[in-house]
């Protein structure tokens, strides 16, 4: 399956991302032919977490302050509590997400990942889902929150938690394929 051949996907993470929410979607993207790039404020490696326990280290492909949204076709935002809470106060991360959205490129965010979408001011008027603890934050930012495994609104796909990853991956591949093919 090479529906995403030639597609460059940025995976924006800081230390503390939920490892399964990065690894499984990344693997699905690569199986579909996409090239994935870990973008991080860290210079060399970034550390995943498995719930409350530290997980594996992953090489950083592009340091955030050198990342250009124009160089990517799509964006994946894994969750974990620490990861998006760290990223949402980094101006370069916020502007990277905002620029991807301004270009109507697809964005897929899972669990706590939509926290960063709030700071990028891209949720107002959108229908989204997330980990339930950030429901009120999304509503207060102008989103309509629903409790479904995946919610697709325009170019933004959101999902609730790791149990939803199979459905998330399926919809993410469809979204990325449809938007990237339109641009070609």
* β-strand pairing of 45-50 with 53-59: antiparallel
* Active-site residue, selected from the candidate residues 51, 57, 112, 126: 112
Q: How many residues would you count in the chain?
A: 184
In the residue annotation, 112 being an active-site residue is answered as yes
In SS3 terms, 6-24 reads as CCEEEEECCCCEEHHHHHH
* Active-site residue, selected from the candidate residues 51, 57, 111, 126: 111
In the residue annotation, 51 being an active-site residue is answered as no
CA gap 45, 40 in Å, rounded: 8
CA gap 96, 2 in Å, rounded: 27
Show which residues are catalytic.
111-112
């Amino acid at each position: 399956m090479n529906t995403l051949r030639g597609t460059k996907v940025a995976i924006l993470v800081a230390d503390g991302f939920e490892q399964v929410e990065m690894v499984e979607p990344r693997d699905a993207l690569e199986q579909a032919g996409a090239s994935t790039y870990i973008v991080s404020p860290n210079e060399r490696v970034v550390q995943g977490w498995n719930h409350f326990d530290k997980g594996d280290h992953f090489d950083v492909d592009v340091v955030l302050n050198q990342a250009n949204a124009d160089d990517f076709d799509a964006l994946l935002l894994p969750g974990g509590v620490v990861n998006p809470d760290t990223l949402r106060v980094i101006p370069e991360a916020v502007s990277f997400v905002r620029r991807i959205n301004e270009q109507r490129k697809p964005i897929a965010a899972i669990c706590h990942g939509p926290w960063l979408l709030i700071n990028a001011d891209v949720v107002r008027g959108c229908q989204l889902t997330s980990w339930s603890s950030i429901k009120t934050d999304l509503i207060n930012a102008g989103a309509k929150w629903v409790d479904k495994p995946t919610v697709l609104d325009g170019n933004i796909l959101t999902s609730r938690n790791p149990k939803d990853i199979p459905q998330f991956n399926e919809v993410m591949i469809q979204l990325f394929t449809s938007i990237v093919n339109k641009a070609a």
